[in-house]
Copies of this chain bind each other. A is one copy, B any other.
Amino acid sequence: MTPRFDTILITGAAGRLGTQLRRGLAPLARKLRLSDVVEISDLQPNEEAILCDLADEPAILQATKGVDAIVHFGGIAMERGWDQILNGNIRGSYHIYEGARKNGVKRVIYASSVHAIGYHDLETQIDANAPHRPDGLYGLSKCFVEDLGRLYWDKFGIETAALRIFSSFPEPQDRRMLWSYLSFDDCIRLVTAALTAPRVGFTVSFGMSDNSVKTVDNRLAAHLGYQAKDNSEPFRAGVEARTDTPDPKAAAVRHLGGWFVDLGHPDEEAAK
């Protein structure tokens, strides 16, 4: 069967999730174009690679040419100083959307993050319409790109699914990940759903597996058609055995953002 897309661009393709998406999205497109600041290893026949920096506007304009959809997982993936965040995430994502606009790309799947709403409490059970509450410069940049996506939909008709990834790792590493865990396979399911949903407009979805403890209400993204199939239960005993019971009153336990809320300003963290 002909794949749905001719070419999909994956940014951050050398990263932890980018690597998974290369595998997972292969059936959806004739060709995957992969971009990253580091070299992509092990290139497959259905792949082409572009070595470029998101902060390099002309390069991004070039990279987004001729693609049907962009899976934008590139940029800085943790709390970092302002200049890195500004260049990698704010300026970089602006270049991606400008590339999409100038090259006629119709849909962007964006790796937003729980850290865009990290200061909300677990027991509030927020939905996707809750106001932004970033927990650091990283989260702030995620808020920015969500708003950017919203603008490019409202004004230029480019669809965005902003997927607020919680914790996507091979397995849960701490107690918090027992509820924030997004398995790699579920991550692929979520991106696939967002790419193939009949109508996205501008949609925010929380990205988690079907874990028992649920800390947000994802009903406003139900039209993406994402159906998680994994959960963290198989890892529970192991995690609990090697970690302490959390203090429910600790800020990092109370808030969705976890230990990010305990971080000071990255300049000062770096100076420590």
* Residue positions of A touching B, CB distance < 8 A: 1, 4, 82, 86, 90-91, 94, 101, 106-107, 119, 121-123, 125, 129-137, 139-140, 143-144, 146-148, 150-151, 154-157, 159, 175-176, 178-179, 193, 197-203, 211-215, 217, 219-220, 222-227, 237, 240-241, 245-246, 248-249, 253-254, 261, 264-265
Alpha-carbon separation in the docked complex, A217 to B219 (Å):
7
Q: List the B side residues contacting A212 at CB < 8 Å.
A: 193, 225-227
- Identify A198's interface contact among B94, B159, B246, CB under 8 A: B246
Q: List the B side residues contacting A144 at CB < 8 Å.
A: 140, 143-144, 147
Q: List the B side residues contacting A123 at CB < 8 Å.
A: 199-203, 220, 223
Alpha-carbon separation in the docked complex, A8 to B144 (Å):
29
Alpha-carbon separation in the docked complex, A4 to B175 (Å):
14
Alpha-carbon separation in the docked complex, A157 to B253 (Å):
14
Q: How far is the CB of A85 from chain B (nearest CB, A)?
A: 10
Q: List the B side residues contacting A214 at CB < 8 Å.
A: 222-223, 225
Alpha-carbon separation in the docked complex, A47 to B261 (Å):
39
- When all copies of this chain in the complex are counted, the total is 6
Known: A123-B223, A125-B222, A201-B248. 19 other contacts (CB 8 A): A86-B90, A90-B90, A107-B248, A119-B151, A122-B199, A123-B200, A125-B223, A132-B132, A132-B147, A133-B151, A134-B151, A135-B151, A135-B154, A140-B144, A143-B144, A175-B198, A179-B225, A213-B225, A215-B223
- Chain B, residue nearest A119 (CB): B154
Q: How far is the CB of A205 from chain B (nearest CB, A)?
A: 11
Alpha-carbon separation in the docked complex, A260 to B108 (Å):
24
Q: How far is the CB of A219 from chain B (nearest CB, A)?
A: 6
Alpha-carbon separation in the docked complex, A255 to B212 (Å):
30
Alpha-carbon separation in the docked complex, A219 to B126 (Å):
10
Q: A140-B151, A261-B155 are in contact. Are A223 and B227 (CB under 8 A)?
A: no
